[in-house]
């Protein structure tokens, strides 16, 4: 009887997950046509149960119905684009050295760690990530590789898989957006602004779908200037607000929205919780 109840509970949980998951067309329609809805970005994918930046963590984000999976892209010694946040692989695999010290095949010897323990997950390629997510979830490509050739390779892969509509290409230095758009005019680029002056420069370059801003220069009037042109505002809950959320459910997200009421994309380490929070308040489909 106890075993039967466990099966029923597991089945109910899977059914809820299936209902939450939705096609990327619904997500992109909300992203581009419903700025009144706040979109949820899963930092390094949904990694509370699986290794960060793993395909398993991306699948988890899709099953949860998250809008955007944020992943980090680096380049191996043999110029393969892979998903990894840190320059070094020590924290995530327990091995010494940098991503660029190894070929892709050499990296496949090292399982990704979760809570310090090895798993069956390996460092995935960027192409495998694209294949997994096509038609299922938006992807924020936090591009950390150092070379222009690597950036061009990433753009070519996105175009080859016909995924420009569901990928955001995040860059730290906004002038590089001109080069990216020269390679692919349809590529949705998300530049990071580090100041009010940079916001003005970015808005003068092109119409971007979203701009990543920081709390340091957030003002309601500046954000209204951005959203008036149809551009979304990306802000993080990472650190301060996520920590508050761990202490009191809803408290961190309440404060995040209070401190940045015009932001309409929020990146968090707790995407499933944020999604439920927003839906309860009518701020998400």
pLDDT tens digits, one per residue of 45-77:
999 999 999 999 999 999 999 999 999 999 999
Inside any domain, residue 163: yes
* Residue 115 domain flag: no
- CATH number of the domain encompassing residue 263: 3.20.20.190
- Of 159, 189, 183, the closest CA to residue 171 belongs to 189
Task: List the chain residues with pLDDT less than 50.
Answer: 1-19
Residue 16 lies in a domain: no
Q: Return the pLDDT at 285.
A: 82
Beta pairing class for 189-191 and 167-171? parallel
Structural domain boundaries enclosing 169: 22-86+124-280
For residue 267, give the nearest of 17, 56, 71, 41 by alpha carbon.
41
**Is 133 a domain residue?**
yes
Residue 233 placed within a domain: yes
pTM of the model: 0.92
Residue 97: CB atoms within 10 A of its CB come to: 15
* Tokens at 185, concatenated: 């005019």
**DSSP three-state, residue 115:** coil
* Residue 22, token pair as written in the block: 């939705």
pLDDT number for residue 193:
98
The answer as to whether 234 is a domain residue is yes
**For residues 61 and 67, what is the distance between their CA atoms, to the nearest angstrom?**
8
3-state DSSP assignment of residue 105: helix
- CA neighbours closer than 13 Å in the CB half-sphere of residue 8: 5
Q: What pLDDT, on the 0 to 100 scale, is given for residue 9?
A: 42
Any domain includes 26 = yes
Structurally, the chain folds into a number of domains equal to: 1
Give the model's pLDDT for residue 7. Answer: 42
* Residues 231/2, Cβ–Cβ less than 8 Å: no
CA distances in angstroms from 116 to 52, 208, 274, listed in the order given:
12, 39, 26
**For residue 266, what are the β-bridge partners?**
40, 235
Residue 249 lies in a domain: yes
**For residue 173, what pLDDT is reported?**
96
């Amino acid at each position: 009887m106890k075993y039967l109840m466990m099966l029923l509970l597991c089945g109910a949980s899977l059914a809820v997950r299936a209902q939450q998951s939705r096609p990327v067309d619904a997500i992109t329609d909300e992203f581009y046509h419903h700025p009144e809805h706040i979109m949820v970005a899963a930092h390094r994918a949904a990694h509370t149960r699986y290794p960060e930046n793993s395909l398993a963590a991306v699948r988890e984000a899709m099953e949860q119905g998250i809008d955007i999976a944020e992943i980090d892209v680096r380049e191996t010694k043999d110029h393969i684009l892979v998903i990894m946040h840190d320059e070094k692989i020590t924290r995530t695999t327990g091995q010494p050295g940098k991503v660029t010290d190894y070929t892709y095949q050499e990296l496949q010897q090292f399982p990704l760690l979760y809570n310090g323990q090895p798993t069956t997950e390996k460092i995935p390629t960027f192409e495998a990530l694209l294949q997994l997510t096509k038609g299922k979830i938006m992807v924020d490509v936090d591009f950390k590789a150092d070379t222009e050739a690597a950036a061009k390779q990433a753009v070519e892969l996105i175009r080859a898989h016909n995924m420009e509509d569901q990928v955001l290409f995040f860059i730290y230095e906004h002038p590089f957006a001109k080069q990216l758009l020269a390679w692919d005019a349809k590529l949705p680029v998300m530049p990071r602004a580090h100041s009010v002056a940079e916001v003005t420069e970015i808005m003068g370059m092109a119409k971007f779908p979203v701009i990543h801003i920081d709390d340091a220069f957030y003002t309601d009037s500046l954000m209204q200037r951005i959203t008036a042109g149809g551009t979304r505002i990306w802000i993080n809950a990472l650190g301060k607000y996520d920590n508050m959320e761990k202490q009191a459910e809803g408290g961190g997200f309440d404060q995040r929205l209070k401190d940045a009421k015009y932001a309409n994309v929020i990146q968090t380490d707790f995407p499933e919780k944020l999604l439920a929070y927003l839906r309860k308040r009518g701020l998400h489909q």
